[in-house]
Amino acid sequence: MPKQLTSQIVTAAIQGYEAQKSRINAQIAELRAMLAGSPVPSAAAPKAAPRKRRKMSAAGRRAIAAAQRERWAKMRGESAPPSVAAPEAPKQKRRISQEGMKRIIAATKKRWRLAKAAKAQRAAVKKAAPAAKKAVVKKATAKAPRKTAKKTAPLKKAAAKETAPPAAPAATEAAAQ
């Protein structure tokens, strides 16, 4: 093994071990299928699609590089690492003007005023609705009185069959034609 491992050697080793791992997992799956008594799937199992690589911004790369340089400096015993880039000035925090705040407050008050008026209107309509229904019912009863059917006890089926007159044969023949 070489004394210094480069990133290329490490990534190649990782890829080799992952390939071995996938082959071993396929063999384990075949053996489990044999235990269960199900048919053995083909040895060529479909591989998962490779993950998309994420892109890192230039600022992120710079920050990582600076942190690594700092770690190297500590290992070597240097007091302060060389500064690569001047620190960027932070962006000023955006503030809303007094005029803008007044407009937002006025719009909010207007929205709530309209919502309150709409709610009051719905309540008034709800109150008036039952009174209007009662008036309609009273008018209907005044014009034509409703006929109420007297409730009777349900007859037994056997008694109903005995009292029912037999069907007229002439009526059934006429309906058939």
**pLDDT of 26:** 94
The pLDDT, as a whole number, for residue 77 is 84
In a domain, 123, yes or no: yes
Q: What is the pLDDT of residue 66?
A: 96
Q: What is the pLDDT of residue 5?
A: 76
Give residue 127's domain range. 99-143
Q: Which residue in the block uniquely carries the two structure tokens 């007859």?
A: 155
Q: Is residue 137 part of a domain?
A: yes
Give the span between the Cα atoms of 98 and 45, in whole angstroms. Answer: 66
Our measurement of the distance from residue 24's CA atom to the centroid of its chain's CA atoms, rounded to an integer in Å, reads 38
Within 13 Å, how many C-alpha atoms sit on residue 116's CB side? 6
Residue 48, domain member (yes or no): no
Per-residue pLDDT at 136: 59
Q: Is residue 88 part of a domain?
A: no
Asked, for residue 71, whether it belongs to a domain, the answer is no
The answer as to whether 58 is a domain residue is: no
Distance CA 79, CA 64 (A): 19
pTM: 0.25
DSSP output for 91-120: PPPP---HHHHHHHHHHHHHHHHHHHHHHH
In a domain, 1, yes or no: yes
Spatial distance between the Cα atoms of 34 and 31, rounded to a whole number of angstroms = 5
Question: What residues of the chain score a pLDDT lower than 50?
Answer: none
Q: 74, 62 in Cβ contact below 8 A?
A: no
**Residue 44: inside a domain, yes or no?**
no
Q: What's the pLDDT at 52?
A: 83
Looking at residue 157, what is its pLDDT? Answer: 58
**Number of domains making up the chain:** 2
